[in-house]
Structures are given as C-alpha cells and as structure tokens.
Amino acid sequence: MGALRQRMRPLIVAGAAITVVTALVIRQNLTKPTSGLVLTSAQITAIEAATAAVKANPSDTSAHWKLVGLLQAVGNEAALATEYITLIRLEPEKPDAIIGMGELLLKNQRYDEAHDAFTQATAKFPTSPMAWNGLGATLYGQKKYRQAVATIRTAITLSPTNTELHGVLGSALMEQVMQFPDRGSYKRELAEARLLLEKHLPTASQRGEVLYRLGRITNIQRDNKAAVDYLTRAQEELPDKPAIAFSLATAYIGQGRRDEGRRVVESALVQFPDEAALHDLLGQLHQRSGVPSGMKDAQASFSRAIALKPNVGSYQERYGVACLRANDLASATAAFIAASKLSPHKAFPYQQLAVVFNRQGRVQDARDASKIAQDIAHDENLLKQAQNLSMVQPKNIGLLLVLGDRYRDLGLKAPARLQYERILELKPGHPEATKGLQLLGPIDEPQTP
C-alpha cells in the first residue's frame, strides 16, 4: 500500500503537473503485472541486472532507460509504465518519457489519458514532432479526424522528412472524408490524402494497409484503374482481409470490368463464406447481369446477406427489391418494413412499400407510404443542397449549423461534430454550436455512414 500511495501523489514535473488522473489510471491498469510473458533466460538475466542497477542508483536515468529498452523488447507494459513515470519525474526537461507514456497509452487505446499526456507534452515541448505526432495519432484514434489533421500538419512542419507522418496525415485526411455521406465531394482532401500516402508507401511498415487506403481513396475518386492496381497489391499483402476483396470488386465494376469483379467476389466468398457484404455485392452483380436467372440469383444472394446481418438496412432494401421483381410481395413487404425500422430517415423503404401496397391492392396504404417517402425525399434533397453549398461556402455558419443539426438528427454524430467544431473555430462560443455539441454526447462507435 505504501508504494501505491507513493504513486498516487501528484507528480510535479518542472512546475507543471502531470495530472493525478493519468498517473492513477496507469497504476490501476498498466502497472498490473503483465501475465503470459515468456522470457528467455538471457532476457530474464538482463532485466534482473538492469532492475538491480536502477535500485542501486534510482536517480541514474541511463539505468532507467536501459531497463525501458529491455521492457519494451519483452512487452512488459506494467513495468514499462512504472519506469516512464519515474523518468518523467527524473527528466522534466526532456520529452522522451512523457511521449513514451503517451504512446503506451495510445497502444492500449486509452485515448483520453493518451490525449492528456500528449497535450501536456506538446505544451511543454512545442518543438517536438513526436509529441505532435502522438497527439495527432491519439485524436485519430478518438476519431477526431479534423483535429488530428491539424495536429499532424504541425508535426510535419517540425519534421518535414518524416514520411511516416505523411502516412498518418494521409490516413487522417481519408478518414475525415469517410465520415461524410457525400464523401466524393471532398475532392481536395482526397487528392492530398492520396498524394501523402503515395509518398509514404515506399517506406511504409504497414504496406498492405497503406495500399488498401489508397485503393479506397482512388475508388471514391472514381479513378478505377488506379484503384484496381492498389487493391490488387493490397490483397496480395493482406490476403485475409475480406474488405479488400469487396473494394477491389467495386473498383473492377466501376472500370466496366464486371466479369473480373464478379470473379473477385466469388473467389472471396470461398474464403469468407460468412461475409455479408460480399453476398450483397454478388446479389447486385446478379441483378444487373443480363442473364435470365439474374433476378432469382440476386434474391438468393441478398437473402444470404440478410441472414448473416439482419440489421443492415441497405441489405434489407436490396432483398426487398429482388423480392418485388420476383413478384414475391409478402417477402418484399417484410423486407421493406424491416428496412424502414432500421433506417427511419430514408425515403427508400417507403417508396418501395408504395409500389408493393399498390400491387397488393392496398391503395390507401400505398398513398400513405408514397406521402411519407416524398416528405423524406424532400428533406434528403435539401440536405444535398446544403452539402453542396457548404462545399463552396465553407465559412457560412448558417449552412454549417443546418448541416450539423441535420446530421445529428440522422444519428451521424461524427460529421455533426465536425460542423459544430468548425463553427466554433470561426465564431468561438457560438451558442447554438455549443448546444449542438452538448446534445451530441459522446461518440462511441465508428461513424461510417
């Protein structure tokens, strides 16, 4: 308990407090003994020796750093955290320990504490590119892509030759764009992200991931030729990732090479038979195949997709359409009703229900569904118009507020937050933006509309 209490005391580092919260949380989790480590006798001997050296001379920072190196090598995060805390106290004038601590927290996806650590690091060591990079990576992990982009840009200014930073910035830019329903409109951001990732690619450690990101970007840019190239290479590097096969197939389809797209999907389904997105895509290919059995095959594929993932509205919608084409009106009705519950703000299920009801002779129901669909479609049109106008008038606070509120209504928290934050940058303290942010609450899950 004595040692515990010791660690709980606020740590004073050159007049700036490393918050109790950070230290506390670290103690409660990261400093738990790391179980399951299997060390060689040489590693054990080396760590014991380094630990003895630290105990013999607790103020010897070089001894502590030597121990840090050994602990990093074996992945003993609990001991590593303890060492970083000690080093932060011993070397208040150096950024290395606090950055190390931040990276350790980041690695464990403890974003709030990592954010604290890196915020303090950047405040105390504003010329440290790694501090800014750490903060940027943390913001990226928190899905605050807009702030991540700004932060990593600072890191790049401080260390322009670090291509790893270019890679992080490119990824952050891409993810920032991915949050928006109208992602194709963000041409400038996509172009920059592509340029940065292409620059980073030759030296990237996670080459497959970078290729995959480039594939996604070029897919959105409708540069299908480049997308096919990147995604083919990504698939070679990461053969176990079904999302790559999906993107590759869509790139082929976009290039007009539908047969090749279909081969990719069918081959991927052998490897990933329970991947709903692939079944759904295969259904779409069947739907447009031009062969007489296309609609029937599509229905079977869509059926499999909804069996695997019944809570995806778009899968239900496509299954419903296939049923409607096959004149299976009962199944179509069920699918569209399910879709309308999953996506209450979409006009599509109601539009289709109007057709189905009319064919069933339920004319008044059809009229009602049609009315609802038209009202929703009207809102969708207004949203598109606001999105387009905001692209050309990015400082129009009124438009940003309209978009923020609408995204919030639609449950698209991440893009909603971006609009409010942009307003607050332009007009600090803007009451409606502040209120909007408060109403949004925390963003728990990835927002990929």
Partner 1 sequence: MNHRLRSTSIILGAFLLAAPGCTNNQPIKREDAVASVVRSVSDAHFDDATQAAGLDFVQHFGECGEHYFIEQVTSGATVIDANNDGNMDIYFPAPTALGPCKIPADAKQRLYINDGKAHFNLAENAFGSSKTDYGIAASTGDYNNDGFADIYVAAYGKNTLYKNNGNGTFTDVTKAAGVTAGGMCTGSVWFDADQDGDLDLYVLRYCNWSVKNDIKCPGGACGPTTYGAARNTFYRNNGNGTFTDFTKQSKLATEQRRSLGVAAFDSDGDTKTDLFVANDLGPNSLFKSLGGLKFEELGMMQGIAYGITGATQANMGVAIGDYDEDGDMDVTITTFQNEPNSLYRNDGGFFTDVSGETGMAAATLPYLAFGTSFLDVNNSGWLDIFFADGHVSPMTKTFDGKPNAKQHNQLLLNEGGKRFIEATKALPDSNVKVHRGTVVADFDNDGLEDILVTATNDKPTLLLNKSKRGNWVAVDLKPANGSATPIGAKVVAHIGKRTLTRQVIGGGSYAGDSSKRLHFGVGNASKVDALDVTWPSGKVETFSDVTINQVNIIKERR
Shortest Cβ 222–partner 1 spacing (Å): 7
- Residues at the contact surface with partner 1, assessed by CB under 8 A: 187-188, 222-226, 254-256, 258, 284, 287-292, 294-295, 298, 317-318, 320-321, 324-325, 348, 351-352, 354-355, 357-359, 363, 366-367, 370, 373-374, 377-378, 381, 384-385, 387-389, 391-392
Minimum Å gap between C-beta 358 and partner 1 is 4
Comparing CB distances to partner 1, the nearer of 71 and 227 is 227
Of the two residues 235 and 390, which places its CB atom closer to partner 1 in the complex? 390
Looking at the Cβ atoms of 66 and 258, the one nearer to partner 1 is: 258
**CB 182, min distance to partner 1, A:** 9
Rounded Cα distance between 115 and 156, Å, is: 19
Q: How far is the CB of 80 from partner 1 (least distance, A)?
A: 48
Residue 444 CB burial class (10 angstroms; 0-12, 13-18, ≥19)? exposed
Whether residue 326 contacts residue 294, with contact meaning beta carbons closer than 8 Å, is answered with: no
What lies within 8 Å, CB to CB, of 375 at 6+ separation is none
| Residue 415 to residue 407: CA distance in whole angstroms | 7
In this complex, which beta carbon is closest to partner 1, that of residue 341 or of residue 371?
Answer: 371
Q: Which residue, among 94, 42, 97, has the nearest Cα to 70 in the 3D structure?
A: 42
Contact assessment for residue 186 and residue 180, using Cβ atoms and an 8 Å cutoff: yes
Least distance to partner 1, CB of residue 377, Å: 7
Nearer to partner 1, 116 or 317 (CB): 317
Nearer to partner 1, 159 or 289 (CB): 289
**Residue in this structure with the two tokens 């670090």, named with its chain if needed:** 162
Looking at the DSSP bridge assignments, the partners of residue 16 are 13
Cα–Cα distance, 322 to 283 (Å, whole number): 9
Structure token pair of residue 93: 């004038």
- In the complex, the smallest distance separating the C-beta of residue 273 from partner 1, rounded to whole angstroms, is 24
The string of DSSP letters for 235-262 reads HHH-TT-HHHHHHHHHHHHHTT-HHHHH
Q: Which is nearer to partner 1, 16 or 191 (CB)?
A: 191
User: Quick one: 32 or 188, whose CB is closer to partner 1?
Assistant: 188
Name the β-bridge partners of 12. 17
Contacts of 407 (CB under 8 A, 6+ apart): 413, 415, 416, 419
Min. distance of Cβ 366 from partner 1 in angstroms? 5
Closest distance of CB 220 from partner 1, Å: 13
Phi–psi pair at 199, nearest 5 degrees = -70, -35
Comparison of 72 and 370: residue with beta carbon closer to partner 1: 370
For residue 256, the minimal CB distance to partner 1 (Å) is: 4
Closest by CA position to 81, among listed 132, 34, 139: 34
- With contact defined as beta carbons under 8 Å apart, do 437 and 420 qualify? yes
Measured in residues, the chain has a length of 449
Q: Measured from the CB atom, is 256 or 431 closer to partner 1?
A: 256
CB of 101 to partner 1, least distance (A): 43
Q: Which of 241, 278, 306 is nearest to 286 (CA)?
A: 278
- Give the Cα separation of 331 and 322 in Å (integer): 10
Residue with tokens 């690091």: 121
